[in-house]
Each structure stands twice: as structure tokens, then as C-alpha cells.
Chain A
Amino acid sequence: MQLSLTDQLQWIADSTSILVPELILVAGILSVILLNIFRVVHFRIYGAVAIASVTLSGLSVLLHWHTDPVSLFNHLLRADDFSSAYKLLFALGTLLTFLLSLSSGTSNKPAEYCSLLLTATLGANLLVMSTSFIMVILSLELISISTYVLAGFHFTKPGAEGSLKYFLFGSAATAIMIYGISLLFGLSGTLNFTSSEFVSHLIAQHSSLVMLSGFFILAGFLFKASAVPFHLWAPDVYEAAPLPVVAFLSVVPKLAGVAALLKFTLAINLFGQSFFDWQTVIAAVAILSIVVGNLSALAQKEAKRMMAYSSIAQAGFLMAAMAPLSLQSMQFMIFYSAVFLIMNFAVFTLLQQFETTYKTTSIHALAGLAKTALIPSVLLTMALIALTGLPPTAGFTAKLFVFSSIWEAFTGTGKSILLWLLLIGLLNTVISLFFYLKIPFYLFIRANTLTEPASAKSFTFTNLLGLVLVIALFVFFFYPALLMGWLNRINFVL
């Protein structure tokens, strides 16, 4: 389709007006950098600007909700329901990250910190909107490069190490992905994976090269989602990075990776007409992530490292949610993503409370602290119960939806891998009980063998934030319709 120059310019102008949430984020990034030029030193000022831009960006997503998909910039991006829902989640996640960072006190390079976090959010926003491989690579790199730096933001020895490992893994995964894209470009003749040309050319191809390039491209998404073959960076990075950054890394890039993976899988599966069964691949990766994440988490003695393995297992559950590749499963995936965001941030907020009071996140050091810090201990227990997937929390509702949609897909298609996914998912919910409840066990039952701990203030901002998040988990358990009713109105278009 060739357009005249005026039409193309008009398209660019129209597209820009739809891109309001991203433009607000860009304005936020630029104003943070500008403030830095004027030698503003207070973290609170930068934080306020960043929070304002994230909140405005989230609000503008709500105000300009695109029920009908709109293609932007010569089919590079597309604004639709699916991407809008995820953009809202990213805005919420980044907002919580900033609140968490502000409550943890000072940061040694506030301007860089805020602008990098905003940049990563911008990348996540663009990634879920992208329909062309050019945008996929650019937005993935926007997330990657800013998070490589954020991972080392403690400016300590372990921080540098975590950041180096993250970088080497990440850039290797991206290089493999780009090579896969170059092969797929040759086979399909287009970089736009939602176009009819892509589908019609690939249906004709029965070569194993399609399979190979598909696997190569999965590498980049799985790295972002920290799903199994590309999960090795997660524990080291999570242990070494500052807590708010860990909370951010475990939610926003992961959800962006999984959402983009869903779009790509639907495209390469060619609406079920592909000669190779990509659903099996997704289900297999989900099973592996759940098993490896949960079994490795059992042996951990450090809360942040344990949460890294937990987040690998949760990536597995997110992929399990998408495995049926049906319309309903997409709604459940967004539901799971939203609940996962809340419960993960709840856990990290409360861990932050323990870290600022007791300067450690080692599980053994938490022994008997429930006596001095009762409120955060109770809240942390609730959040961990939600992560396990037990009632009465939204974690249970989300897992129930996921398992029921897998069961439906199994009875519909009769693929045995889906049954295995269901059984292993259920079994691992039991296994995860052992490590998630290890923290409450130490907090409440083990006596403190060390010196008398300093008494903590109960009424802190961090505790309040944790309380709000935990209440949200209960609300979504008793009234899941609050979220599901809204998700049901969303129509998904590939």
C-alpha cells in the first residue's frame, strides 16, 4: 500500500495525537533531565515529577481508551484494548515503584534513577503496542538498556556483578532474537507480524527454518519474562539490586515480555494453521518455569533470592494462563497479571519495611520479629498466602481462572500437554506453600536467638502502602467481578 507524502505526513500527525500516554512519559523523562541541569538535589522533587507523569500517563490511557484498534506510524504500532489494559498496569506498577523508592529514603543519583525507570516504562508501553519487529526490538532494548543500569544502582560490588551478568545474558538473548527476526523476514517477506502477508507467506512455508527462527525470537521474550531457559540472571540480579528496582523488574518488564510473547505466539501460530504446534512449546516452557522456579526456591535462605525464583515460577503461571491461546484465556491472563502485580508489590513493600528497619532480608534474621513488628509481619503473611494461591485472597481467584481455562482448552483440543500443565501447576501450588510460608514460620514461630531487635514504628508510609495492596487482594477475592466485568467488555483483536 503506497500512500502519497501528504497522506503519510497526515498519518504521522494523527498517530502522534493517539500516542498521548507515551508522550507524557517522554515529557516526564525530559523534565527530570532538565531539573538535573538546574542542579536540583532533592529526591522528592524528582519523585514528584516522575509520579505526576506516570499518573497522568495512566489517566490518559483511561481517557483515550481505544476499543477499535488504531494502527499508528505505517503499522509500526497499534493501540487497542489489549495494549491499553497492559499500559494501565505498567503505569500502576511504576507508580508503586516510585512510592516504594520515595519511602525508602534517599537515592544517590535521583535524576538518573527516575529517568531510567520512566524510560523502562516507556519501553514496556511501546512493546505491548508494537506490531512490527522493528518496534519490538527498539522497545525491548529501551527496557533492557535502562534496566541494565538500574540493576547496579546500589553502586556496590555485588551490584556491579549482578548488572554485568544481566547485561551479558540480555544482550546475547537480544542478538539471538534479532538473528531469528532476520530469518523470519526472509521467509515471510515482511516485518509486520500482524499483516495478512505474514500469515499467507508463512502458511506456504513448511521448512524447519520457520521453527528455528521462531525459537530464536522466543529467546528475547523469554529473557524479559525470566522464563526457564533464560532465567539464570534473575537470582543474582534480584539479590544485588535495590528493592524498589527488584519489585519493578519482577513486574513491569516481565508483564511486557509475556504480553508481547502472546501477540507473537498468536501470529506465528497462524491461527492454528501452522505446521508446527506452538501451543505445545508455550505449555512446555510454562511447565519448566513452574517446576524449576519452585524447586529452586525451596533451598533459598535469602528473601530477595527466594522471590527471584518465585517470580520465575510466576512467569510460568502467566505463560500457563496464555497457553490455551483463546479469547477467554487472554482475559484471564490480564486478570492474573493485575493480581500478580498487586501481590508482588505487596511482598516487596513489606520486605522493604523489614530491610529499612533491620538492614537485612535474610530469612533467618527475620526469626521472632513478629513480636516487635506485628503489623508488617501479618501483612507480609497475607501477601505470601496470595502468592501461593490460597483463599481468601485474589491469588486464589486468579489461579482458579487459569486452571479452569486450561481444563476447558484440554477438553476442547485433547492435547495431553495441557493436562500435564494443569496437574503440574496444581502440584506446584502445594510445593510453593513450603517456601512461601517459610517466612511467616520464622517471623511468628521461631524465637529470636540474636540480640534484642530494635522496636519498629508501626505507622509508616511503607506499612500503609502494604496495607492498601493487601486490602486490594482481599477485595478482588470477594468481588472478582470488579475486574472481570471490566475485562469482559474488552474485545481482543490480533
Chain B
Amino acid sequence: MTKEEFNPKILGFLCNWCCYAAADAAGVSRYQYPPNLRTIRVMCTGRIDPSFILQGFAEGAAGIFTGG
């Protein structure tokens, strides 16, 4: 499968204190990663209601990433 064909939409929920901070740190260190992720910052992954995940898939997410 070539890169052009597979271009998934990924929805991410990032914990403010760890994963969101890590994503900032990745930027500061200029690490490069594919631009397929769209993120929602939460104050803790504990905030993620299971329905958010289902809603994400219903809205067309190919995958959902939770970082916490």
C-alpha cells in the first residue's frame, strides 16, 4: 500500500500533564512524525468518557489514540 492510498484520520486525546507535554517536547526536539493526528487536550485521560471514543469513530476516525 503506498503512502498516498493510506492516509488515515486519527483522533487523539492527550493528557495535559504527560502526553500533551511529551507532544510539546517532541516539537521542541524537532522530532518529525506523520501529520495524520488531530488532538483534543484533556486534563487527564480519566476525562475520556467511552462515548467520546464511539463518537470519534462515528465521525470517521480511522483510529483513536489516547495518551495518558
On whether the two chains bind one another, the answer is no
Q: A residues near B, CB below 8 A?
A: none
Q: B residues near A, CB below 8 A?
A: none
